[in-house]
């Protein structure tokens, strides 16, 4: 059974800092991995999707890397802003045929202070 | 674009009552799923579907039923509500390799 761990559970930083969120998973036989953002009282929004054949994926100030063999992914946020405050979750997907069946970590709650 | 629409947004039930949580998507996605989110336990998969007429159990299926008669709709039925089913329920959809799209959730309280 896939288990996903996210460290740290919570993070508070001043505006402008670069930061790294960590995700580890126990079963390295994954098809892809997604990073999501969740604002309080809202659903999850997909930020980045990395295929198992990729090493990293970038979108604006966000960069996600994947080391499948070691069961790790990191989300790098550059020049953080108060609007980045949210909970960030990672979710590996085991197989292409597993539909929308993902395993989620509990997330990292990020607060960016002005 | 509407994306994934869940209704209702909030619901209070008494123990033993039944109800259906609605989920509809307008993106012609093959894959749909239901998750519940609880503090300290993250998101857990209840049921999922890889196409119309095809459903399967996830990690925590007990007490819930699903059906998928159309591509667009994937309702979740609570057969006899219990306090342990108090949670926030999310419906999600995707198309093969595409990112997962989530609805805004249904917050359910069972008293």
Token pair 């109800």 in the structure block, residue: B19
Assign A98 to helix, strand or coil. Answer: helix
Q: Does A44 touch chain B (CB under 8 A)?
A: yes
Neighboring chain B residues of A102 at a CB cutoff of 8 Å: 45, 100
Identify from A3, A98, A101 which residue to disrupt to test chain B contact, counting B C-beta atoms within 10 A and taking the largest count.
A101
Neighboring chain A residues of B32 at a CB cutoff of 8 Å: 99-100
Would you state the pLDDT for residue A95? 75
Whether residue A98 has pLDDT greater than 70: no
- Report the share of chain B in percent with pLDDT over 90: 90
Complete DSSP assignment for chain B:
---EEEE-SEEEE-TT--EEEEEEESS--SEEEEEEEETTTEEEEEEEEEETTEEEE-SS-TTEEE--SSSSB--EEESS--GGG-EEEEEEEE-TTSPPEE---EEEEE-
Q: Show the CA angle centred on residue B109, arms to residues A105 and B103, nearest 5°.
A: 50
Task: Tell me the average pLDDT of chain A.
Answer: 93
C-beta separation of B84 from B98 below 8 A: no
Q: Does A91 touch chain B (CB under 8 A)?
A: yes
C-beta separation of A94 from A2 below 8 A: yes
Whether residue A22 has pLDDT greater than 70: yes
Q: How many CB pairs under 8 A join A and B?
A: 66
Would you state the pLDDT for residue B97? 75
Would you state the pLDDT for residue A97? 63
How far apart, in Å, are the Cα atoms of A58 and each of A30, B15, B58?
A: 20, 47, 31
- Please tell me which of the candidates B93, B103, B104 has its beta carbon nearest to residue A100: B93
Would you state the pLDDT for residue A94? 82
Whether residue B95 has pLDDT greater than 70: yes
Would you state the pLDDT for residue A41? 87
Would you state the pLDDT for residue A80? 97
Interface of B with A in 69-108 (CB under 8 A): 90, 92-94, 96-105
pLDDT of B45-92, one tens digit each? 999 999 999 999 999 999 999 999 999 999 999 999 999 999 999 999
Q: What average pLDDT does this structure show over B37-41?
A: 89
Q: Does B40 touch chain A (CB under 8 A)?
A: yes
Would you state the pLDDT for residue B1? 65
Please state whether B42 falls in left (phi above 0), alpha (psi between -120 and 50) or beta. left
Q: Which residues contact A53 (CB under 8 A, 6 or more apart)?
A: none
């Amino acid at each position: 059974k896939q288990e996903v761990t996210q460290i740290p559970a919570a993070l508070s930083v001043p505006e402008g800092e670069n930061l790294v969120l960590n995700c580890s998973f126990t079963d390295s036989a994954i098809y892809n991995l997604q990073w999501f953002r969740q604002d309080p009282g809202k659903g999850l929004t997909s930020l980045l999707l990395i295929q198992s054949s990729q090493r990293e994926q970038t979108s604006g100030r966000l960069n996600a890397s994947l080391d499948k063999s070691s069961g790790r992914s990191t989300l790098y946020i550059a020049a953080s802003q108060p609007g980045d405050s949210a909970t960030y979750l990672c979710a590996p997907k085991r197989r292409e045929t597993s539909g929308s069946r993902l395993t989620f970590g509990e997330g990292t709650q990020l607060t960016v202070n002005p | 674009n509407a994306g994934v629409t869940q209704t209702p947004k909030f619901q209070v039930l008494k123990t033993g009552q039944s109800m259906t949580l609605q989920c509809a998507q307008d993106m012609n996605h093959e894959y749909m799923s239901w998750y519940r989110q609880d503090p300290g336990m993250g998101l857990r998969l209840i049921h999922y579907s890889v196409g119309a007429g095809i459903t399967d159990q996830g990690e925590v299926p007990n007490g819930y039923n699903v059906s998928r008669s159309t591509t667009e709709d994937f309702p979740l039925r609570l057969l006899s509500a219990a306090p342990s089913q108090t949670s926030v329920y999310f419906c999600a959809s995707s198309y093969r390799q595409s990112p997962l799209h989530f609805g805004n959730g249904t917050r359910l309280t069972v008293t």
